[in-house]
Structure 1
Amino acid sequence: MSSPRFPRRLVLSLVMALGIASLTTGLAQNAPAATAAPASETTTAAATAAVAFADEFDGPAGSAVDGGKWLTETGDNVNNHERQYYTAGTSNAALDGQGNLVITARKENPGNYQCWYGKCEYTSSRLNTSGRFTSTYGHVESRMKIPRGQGIWPAFWMLGADIGSVGWPNSGEIDIMENVGFEPGMVHGTLHGPGYSGSGGIGAGYSLPGGAAFADAFHTFAVDWAPGSITWSVDGTVYQRRTPADLNGNRWVFDKPFFLILNLAVGGYWPGDPDGSTSFPQKLVVDYVRVTTGEASSGGGPITGLAGKCVDVAGGAAANGTAVQLYDCNGTAAQKWTVGSDGTIRALGKCLDVASGGTADGSLVQLYDCNGTAAQKWATPAAKDIVNPQANKCLDVSGGSSANGARLQIWTCTGAANQKWTVTR
C-alpha cells in the first residue's frame, strides 16, 4: 500500500435513478495490516456449492451482454475526475464470440458527449447487476485479463443494494479487484463504509511474483464472503482477510445484499490521466463472473437426531416464526436442509434462527428470513453437535422428548442424545 489513494467512483445512471447526489470511494491510505494468511493458503468453493449467479459470456461476436443480468450505466464521473464517458450499446462492451466479454476504452467521442471538463476525450463501459441480482455472502469470482497503461483503471466490485435509501458510504463497498496502470504488477482489494471510506478505505495490495504484469495473462480474482469476514484471493492464493476488528471501532456494513459492478475507467485522481505512453484502445477481457453459495445444489438433505427422527419445519410452512421441531422423517422439503459455508442452515428458502437472538437456555428455534445475524450462524463439529456460537449452546430437543412435534431450542451443551445430530450433506 505504497501510493496515496483518493476518492474514486460514482454510480452514474443508477445514481440518477435513485436520486443520490454524489457517491465517491477510494482505496486505503493508512489501512491497518490485513489479518495474516499463509502465502500458500488457497480458497476453493465447496464441491456442492450452488451457483447463485453466472455469466459465461457465450454468444455471437459483437452481441450485447445479457440485459436480464446486467444494467449498462451511462455518463461521466466528476467526483473522481475520470476522463471517460460510459456509453450504452455495444461499441464499448460486447461479446467476442469466444466466450468473453470485452470492455473497451477508446480515445474517441463519436457521440459528441460532454464531460465535466468539456468535450469528452474517451469512451468506455460500466455494467452492474442492480435490480437483477444481489447476494449476501458466498464466493464471488471473475477470471479476466486486465488492460495496461498510464491512466487505465479496471475494477470488479460490489455496492450495498440499499444505497438508494442509506447513501454511500453507509451502503458499503467491496472492491474485489482494481488496478491502476502505473502499478502493472499489483491489484488491490478494499472495503469502504462509514468512517473508512475514500482514502481511508481498509484494504491491501497483491503483487505478482517475479515482476510479472497482470495484463500479460488471465487471472482469477475472488472474495469469500461470510458473516463477519471477507477474504480476498488472486489465482486461489489468499492475501488478506478482514473482519469487524479491522475497522477501528467503525460499523461493519457487509451482512446484507450487494450487487456486482464491472467497469474500465480512464484517468482520475488515483491513476492519473493517460499520457503519451498510453496506447488505445485498451481492453478488459472477462472470461466469466460467478457467485456460488455453500448451499447444496441437490436441494439439501435431512438432519436426523433423537430416535432417528428429523429436524422439521412445522406444517411445511415458510412463514417467519414457524416452529422447528422433531418429526418422523418423511422426505418432504420441510426436512431438506442445506448447510452453507456462510454458517447458515437453510430450508424452504429461509434460515434456522434462534428466536429474538436469544442466548439463554430454552431459547426456541424457528424458521426466519436469512439476515446474516449471529442468531442464524451455526457450527457443525465432528462431535455431531450443532452449535450456535453466539450463545455457545447446542441445538437441543426440548425435554429430551422423541415425540412428534417436540420443539427444538438451544441449551448448554451436555453431550446428551437429544443434542446429537447427523447432517446429510
Structure 2
Amino acid sequence: MTKRWRALSLGAVGLMLATASLASAGTATAQGESTTGVTAPTANATCTQPTSQPARGLPLAWHDEFSGRSLDTSRWSTVMDFPGRAGGHYHNTSYGSYAVDENVVLSRGRLRLIADNKPVVGTDPAGTYQYTEGFISSHDKFFQAYGYWEICAKFPTGKGLWPAFWLIPQDRSWPPEIDVAEWFGSIEGMHSGLASGNWPDVRWDSNWSYGLTPTTGWHKYGVLWSPGRITFFTDGAPTYTVTGDQVPTKPMYIVLNSGTWANPDRGGPPDATTPFPNSFDIDYVRVYRAK
C-alpha cells in the first residue's frame, strides 16, 4: 500500500508454491450473526454471477467462501508478520490503527473486517491506539506467483478509512507489493498499483478508477499476473495494466485489512463525521493458477 512501510526486515524462504486441499468454489451460505454493532451485509447478485472473464479456463488453486462460523485458521492468520510491522501496528506515520482479533467476524456467509474508534492498549510498540481494525493474511498458508486473484467485496465509506486487498512476498522482502484494490473512504476513486525496485528507491505504478460505487454495491476486484505483465480488473473489465521488468516474479500471499489513514493527504484521518464501527465486507477470495 502506498508509502506504508519505513522499517524493513529481510528474510528468505524457498520460492515454492503452497498447495492446499481444494473443494469447488460455491456460493456462500448464511452462517452466524454479527455482534459488532455493524449492520450485517445483505445478499447480492454480483458475487453469485458466473466466473469473471479473466479467470475462465484457469484452474482454481485456492479459495475461501467464508461459509463457516469462524475464520478458517488453516487458510488465514490474524498475525501481522511482515516487514514494517510491530505487534498489531505498522511502523509508518500514514497508518492509524491497531489490529485486534475481535474485529475479524464471519456473518451470513461473509467476512467482515471491522474498523472502530474504540481505543486499545497495544504492545510492541506499547501505547494506546485510538482506532482498531480487522486484519488477515495467508502468509505461510498460501502463496503463489502468477495467476488470477479476485475478491467480491463491499467497501465502507467515511473520512480516513483505508481498507485494502493486497499481495506481498512470501519471503518477507519489500518491495514488491501489488495493491489490487485500495480504498480511501472519502475519495471517489479506487486505487490499484504496483510497488517495485529496491528500498529506498521504490517505483510506484498507480491508477485511480472512477465511476463505480464500491461503498453502495458489491463488486469484483481482481488482478491477472503473468511474467512481465499485470492487469487489474473491476467486475471482469480491465482498468489498468503494468508491463516491464518491474513486474514481480516472487510468490506472494494475500492481505485483507480495514485500516485507517493518519496523514492529512488523501482525505485526511477520521473525524467526527466518520461512521464507527464500519466494515469491509468480503463474500469470497478466489485464486486461480496460471496455465
TM-score by length of 2: 0.75
Query: What does residue 229 of structure 2 align with?
Result: 229
Whether 2:105 is the aligned partner of 1:99: answer no
Contact kept? 1:173, 1:191, Cα under 8 Å:
yes
AA in 1 matched with 2:189: M
Whether 2:95 is the aligned partner of 1:82: answer yes
Secondary structure at 1:44 match in 2? helix
Query: What does residue 173 of structure 1 align with?
Result: 177
Matched residues in 1 for 2:201 and 2:72: separation? 31
Query: What does residue 150 of structure 2 align with?
Result: 141
Secondary structure at 1:214 match in 2? coil
Secondary structure at 1:149 match in 2? coil
Matched residues in 2 for 1:182 and 1:6: separation? 16
Aligned with residue 259 of structure 1, among 230, 253, 258: 253
Contact kept? 1:154, 1:264, Cα under 8 Å:
yes
**What per-residue deviation string (whole Å, max 9, x for no partner) do you get for residues 246-298 of structure 1?**
xxxxx52512211111011112335421012111001000000000124xxxx
Query: What does residue 7 of structure 1 align with?
Result: 3
AA in 1 matched with 2:112: V
Matched residues in 2 for 1:281 and 1:146: separation? 13
Structure 1: tracts of 5 or more residues without a match: 20-41, 245-250, 295-339, 341-425
Which moved further from structure 2: 188-197 or 221-230?
188-197
Query: What does residue 194 of structure 1 align with?
Result: 197
Matched residues in 2 for 1:232 and 1:268: separation? 27
Task: Report 1:5-404 matches (<5 A).
Answer: 7-9=3-5, 43-46=53-56, 48-60=57-69, 63=70, 65-73=71-79, 74-88=87-101, 91-96=102-107, 98-109=108-119, 111-113=120-122, 118-163=127-172, 167-169=173-175, 172-183=176-187, 185-194=188-197, 200-208=203-211, 213-244=213-244, 251-252=245-246, 254-269=248-263, 271=266, 272-294=268-290, 340=291
Query: What does residue 37 of structure 2 align with?
Result: none
Contact kept? 2:143, 2:251, Cα under 8 Å:
yes
Aligned residues: 243
Q: Which has the larger radius of gyration?
A: 1
TM-score by length of 1: 0.53
Secondary structure at 1:112 match in 2? strand
Structure 2: tracts of 5 or more residues without a match: 13-51, 80-86
Q: CA deviation at 1:17?
A: 10
Instruction: Summarize the Cα distance change of 1:197–1:174 in structure 2 as closer, same or farther, 3 Å threshold.
Output: farther
Secondary structure at 2:55 match in 1? coil
Matched residues in 1 for 2:182 and 2:104: separation? 18
Identity of aligned residues (%): 29
Matched residues in 2 for 1:69 and 1:146: separation? 22
AA in 2 matched with 1:83: G
Contact kept? 2:196, 2:203, Cα under 8 Å:
no
AA in 2 matched with 1:160: P
Secondary structure at 2:186 match in 1? coil
AA in 1 matched with 2:151: S
Contact kept? 1:43, 1:233, Cα under 8 Å:
no
Matched residues in 2 for 1:257 and 1:180: separation? 27
Contact kept? 2:3, 2:94, Cα under 8 Å:
no
Matched residues in 1 for 2:277 and 2:134: separation? 13
More helix by share: 1
Secondary structure at 2:151 match in 1? strand
Instruction: Summarize the Cα distance change of 1:226–1:84 in structure 2 as closer, same or farther, 3 Å threshold.
Output: same
Q: Which has the higher contact order (CA 8 A, sep 6+)?
A: 2
More strand by share: 2
Matched residues in 1 for 2:201 and 2:151: separation? 24
